[in-house]
Structure formats: C-alpha cells, structure tokens
Chains A and B, each alone.
Chain A
C-alpha cells in the first residue's frame, strides 16, 4: 500500500531548534535605529523578556527546546508530511512531491509554533500577561491559545471593525481565556487620542499595534510584555521544528534528502521554518535547490537590491538590512495578503545575498491555476499564499519530467483557502489580471534609495 501520510511518533520530535545565524557564512548586519546606530537588546527590553532577546541575538547553532514547551507542542506536533501522489499522477512526473501540513494546530496555522514558546519564556521571566494586536484574528488566536496553555493573561487589541464583524475569531480568543479589546480603546493614550479625534473610528492595525506596545510599556509593575508573530530572528528559530521534522519524515519515507525545498515567503517565518534546516545541509555541501516564492507583481526578493531602507516614507523608523524595493515602492494589486510585506526577515535576506536560496516569482493567475489543479487532485483548497508555493512545485515537477529525474520536492502547506474564496470566485469568473512590475516603475522606486547609506553586502561567493 502506498502511504499518503508520513507520521512521526511524538518521541521523535526535535528537541532542539536550529539557529541558522550560527552557520551563515557571513554574519547578519544589525538593525539600525533612527540615529543610525544598532538597536541594542536593552532598547527592546521594555516589550520583550531578556530570555527571548537572548535568542534573538544568539549565534548558538542548537538551542534546546524546554521539556515543558515540547509537552505543549505535542498537542498537534509532529505535523504530518503528505505525499501528493494524485498530483504526481496528474502531472505524469517522476518527481516525489511532499508537503508539510501545518494546518493541524488547534488555531489552524503554523503560528502557535512560536506563540507557545514566547508565552512560555515570558512566564519563566516572571511576566504575567502578554499583549498583541490582531486583524483577522489568526495571530491573536494563536497567542490566546498559547497563553491558555502556559497560564498567562492575554490581552489582544483587535481592530474595531474586525471585532464587530468577526465574532467567531473573537470568541475563539475569549474561549481560550484572552481579553479581546476593540481598538482603538480608552485603555491606552494612543487609543484615547484617536477616539478623541474620531469617536466612531473603525480602527486600524497600526493603531492596534501602538496600543499593544503601549499597554506593555506603560505597565508600571513590569509584568506585561508584547508578543510578535513574524519577522524577528527568534520567531524564525521557533518555526524550524517544521523543517527538522520534515527531514526525519523524508528519511522515514525512504528518501535520502530533498532535492527541492519550496515555501511561500511573506514575512519569512513560514518559509524559514521549513527551509532553514535544509539550508544548513546546503551550507555543509548538499546539492539542494531552495526556493522562496513571491508574487511577480511585488518582487521584493527577485528583483530588488540589498540595501538599507527606511521602513516608512517619513524616514522615522529604524532601518533593517533587508531586500527592499525602496520606501517609495508602490505594491501593485495581488490577491495574497500575507505575501505583501515590504521587507523580508533579515535572516531570509542574508540567505538570498549568499545565494543559498533562489527566490522565484509567479503571476497570480498562474498561482490560481496551480491551486485549482491542486484542489482537483489532492482535494484541499489552498490559501492564496500557499498557491504560490504550489505553482513553483508544479513547475519543478514538470521540469523533473522533462529531465526524466526522480527528484524529491517538498513544500510547506501554510493553510486552506476556505476563508479566502473571493479570490477563487474572481479567478473563476476571469476577473483576475497579472501585473508584473514594469522595469521603469522599479527604477523609479529604487531612485529613492540612492542617498541612503549602503551596507557592503556580506557575501562569501561560495554559492
């Protein structure tokens, strides 16, 4: 019998996270503050506990996963690795296609992989409550779930219009014991300022973030911290359980390794979680093609130079070394919300600089075609973000067919699209259009970077 799912026993779960920062051939450039000087751990201490900040700046290769954390992760981990046999057959490819299903956690995404950990380390640091912001409620749900398990209070500032219109997400958070507050709220000065100007405001994510940070900073007891679910190094670290499990599962499936590793790439944690353990193998000499995927219309990784950039047009925020299209970049239309980040996680950016990963961009119409093919063979309807990874997977599988090679391809399944059917409706009605960024638009955008300080790219030239 041909197996569809390759499961690990709970005792086979990874007991350490893998820290790519230890093996990067060239070190990360530090984030810079508005004054141009590196951001120090002390500057972040008002919102993050020092044990997490230590992970943020750590260059230790392996970091032990505390037994208590493992115990909580075991609720849904190890997540299953699937073999996409029906897609293979439909494509007539000799490739072996695998995908890691991260939709099996109680909140339904990979986000609890770090939410659980952050909650636990905060508890160890003596923190009693966490704050965060949420829009649709995915990250808020993950943190509420995590705080319930760990035993922390959780305060989620939810954009008011979402609070009013998404009662089920709010109820999920409240069921897990979190306090979900419509933002802007009278609880913070940031919220009060907005309410004074616009009493009936529907709120925004920007306001909610300001409130969550202020709620942590303003607590004079020092028992409150803020939690972030993307971009930072320690978030990437916690997500590496995905790739570490996947490597064991591939071995169980009888594969010596992966030839191609694929993940959609927004802020980077989804891609990093699967790929970083394979990046380590590549650094050690393995021949692996690792592909972060993005939309053609917003080519942050595939066409932009590596440069310091400001995070906003007002040029007031700290600068992070990242792949960027310039602070004047105008993102064109695309139906994949999670992929619309202006900048990439610094660790992911450095793998691009080194040539360790090979970013690729796909048109949204091609992605929806891939998603339809997937749904009609494997059954699951993928989220728009996931469809980018599927498009790359299909292309690689077809390439393997042309070459007559039995390649092993693996990608990260980042979620179903049942809450995102509007995009499918528009695709099926023929209403979606591709919008590759014209060269002249890109050049115009990049002109905004010419007067900014340029770091010397740290590249060894090995890859």
Chain B
C-alpha cells in the first residue's frame, strides 16, 4: 500500500545542518519540492525512509535527492551569474 506523504511528518530529530530539532516534514520539503539530500542519512535508523521516498515520490526522485551537498566555493561564480541575471530581469 502506498504511504501517505504525511505519514512520518510527526517524527522529529536533531538536524545536523541546522543544529536544532526538526520534524520529518521539513526533511521532505526543505524550502523546495525536492526532499533534503540528507534525508536518507538522517532517517535510515528510524524507519524505511528509502521505501517511503520510493513509494511517496517515485524512483525518479531518488537521484535528485542524492545529489551531494554542493560545495560553496565551486558554486560562487554560478551564484554571481544567477544574481546578475535576476537583477537584469527584474
């Protein structure tokens, strides 16, 4: 049976990136439609998070989630260009 997307939203734990407790709801929607890339790292001990993601989001979401954390230094030039584009178009 397919998991409802909010099934695990009540679960909470400390977020290693933010430094305080969060609920699973944040992990699956951290300011974007793509779940946090650490969602598997943080929740694997608690429940079958992989199975949940496959069920709730589909197999195609997995590679998108698993993209490693982007290195700040290597993305600065890209962010500058993006900011410039934003400034020009608005």
| A430 shortest CB reach to chain B, Å | 12
Kindly report which residue of chain B lies nearest to residue A207, judged by CB atoms: B31
Most buried by B among A46, A159, A218, A311: A311
B57 within 8 A of A: no
Chain B contact residues: over half helix, strand or loop, or mixed?
Answer: mixed
Query: Which of A31, A138, A165 sits near B21, CB closer than 8 Å?
Result: A165
Residues of B within 8 A of A203 (CB): 30-31
User: Given the complex of chains A and B, what is the CA–CA distance between A2 and B19 in angstroms?
Assistant: 38
Query: Which of B18, B45, B83 sits near A136, CB closer than 8 Å?
Result: B18
User: Given the complex of chains A and B, what is the CA–CA distance between A191 and B34 in angstroms?
Assistant: 17
| A87 shortest CB reach to chain B, Å | 27
Give the interface segment out of A284-292, A326-334, A372-380. A326-334
User: What class of interface size applies to chain A in its complex with B?
Assistant: 35 or more
CB–CB B77/A194 < 8 A: no
CB–CB B71/A334 < 8 A: no
Residues of B within 8 A of A320 (CB): 71, 73-74
User: Given the complex of chains A and B, what is the CA–CA distance between A436 and B79 in angstroms?
Assistant: 34
B56 within 8 A of A: no
Residues of A within 8 A of B30 (CB): 202-204
Query: Which of B18, B19, B67, B77 sits near A327, CB closer than 8 Å?
Result: B67
CB–CB A314/B67 < 8 A: yes
CB–CB B13/A210 < 8 A: no
CB–CB A313/B67 < 8 A: yes
Residues of B within 8 A of A330 (CB): 40, 66, 68
- One digit per residue, 1 when the CB lies within 8 angstroms of any chain B CB and 0 when it does not, for chain A 25-48 equals 000000101100001000110110
Q: What is the number of residues of chain B that contact chain A, defined by CB distance less than 8 Å?
A: 44
A422 within 8 A of B: yes
CB–CB A337/B16 < 8 A: yes
CB–CB A340/B21 < 8 A: no
B60 within 8 A of A: no
Kindly report which residue of chain B lies nearest to residue A228, judged by CB atoms: B72
Do A166 and B31 form a contact, CB below 8 Å, given A202-B26, A332-B41, A333-B41?
no
CB–CB B83/A213 < 8 A: yes
A312 within 8 A of B: yes
| A138 shortest CB reach to chain B, Å | 8
B44 within 8 A of A: yes
Query: Which of B66, B68, B76 sits near A213, CB closer than 8 Å?
Result: B76
Query: Which of B19, B32, B45, B75 sits near A317, CB closer than 8 Å?
Result: B75
CB–CB B72/A166 < 8 A: no
User: Given the complex of chains A and B, what is the CA–CA distance between A418 and B69 in angstroms?
Assistant: 26
Chain A contact residues: over half helix, strand or loop, or mixed?
Answer: loop
CB–CB B86/A166 < 8 A: no
Do A317 and B72 form a contact, CB below 8 Å, given A202-B26, A218-B83, A422-B14?
no
CB–CB A228/B73 < 8 A: yes
Residues of A within 8 A of B84 (CB): 46, 217
CB–CB B18/A333 < 8 A: no
| A108 shortest CB reach to chain B, Å | 13
Residues of A within 8 A of B83 (CB): 46, 189-190, 210, 213-214, 216-218
Query: Which of A39, A47, A135, A214 sits near B86, CB closer than 8 Å?
Result: A214
CB–CB A135/B80 < 8 A: no
> Would you list which residues of chain A between 393 and 433 have a CB under 8 Å from chain B?
419-420, 422, 426, 431-433
A161 within 8 A of B: yes
CB–CB A189/B86 < 8 A: yes
A123 within 8 A of B: no
Do A342 and B71 form a contact, CB below 8 Å, given A166-B19, A207-B31, A218-B87?
yes
| B67 shortest CB reach to chain A, Å | 4
> Would you list which residues of chain B between 46 and 71 have a CB under 8 Å from chain A?
63-64, 66-71
| B61 shortest CB reach to chain A, Å | 13
Query: Which of B13, B63, B69, B80 sits near A340, CB closer than 8 Å?
Result: B69
A160-B31, A194-B32, A206-B32 given; 18 more Cβ-contact pairs under 8 Å? A44-B80, A135-B17, A162-B20, A165-B18, A190-B83, A204-B36, A210-B83, A213-B82, A213-B83, A231-B72, A311-B74, A312-B67, A318-B78, A320-B73, A327-B67, A333-B41, A340-B16, A422-B14
B residues at A contact (CB < 8 Å):
13-14, 16-22, 26, 29-32, 36, 38, 40-42, 44-45, 63-64, 66-80, 82-84, 86-87, 90
- In the complex, 29 of the A-B residue pairs with CB atoms within 8 angstroms, ordered by the A residue number, are A39-B77, A43-B80, A46-B80, A135-B19, A136-B17, A159-B31, A161-B22, A162-B20, A189-B83, A189-B90, A194-B32, A202-B29, A203-B31, A204-B32, A210-B79, A214-B79, A217-B83, A218-B83, A313-B66, A316-B78, A318-B75, A318-B77, A328-B63, A329-B68, A332-B41, A334-B41, A337-B19, A340-B38, A422-B14
A residues at B contact (CB < 8 Å):
31, 33-34, 39, 43-44, 46-47, 135-138, 159-162, 165-166, 169, 184, 188-190, 194, 198, 201-207, 209-210, 213-214, 216-218, 226, 228, 230-232, 311-314, 316-320, 322, 325, 327-337, 340-343, 419-420, 422, 426, 431-433
4 pairs of A and B residues whose beta carbons are closest in the complex: A136-B19, A337-B16, A204-B31, A189-B86
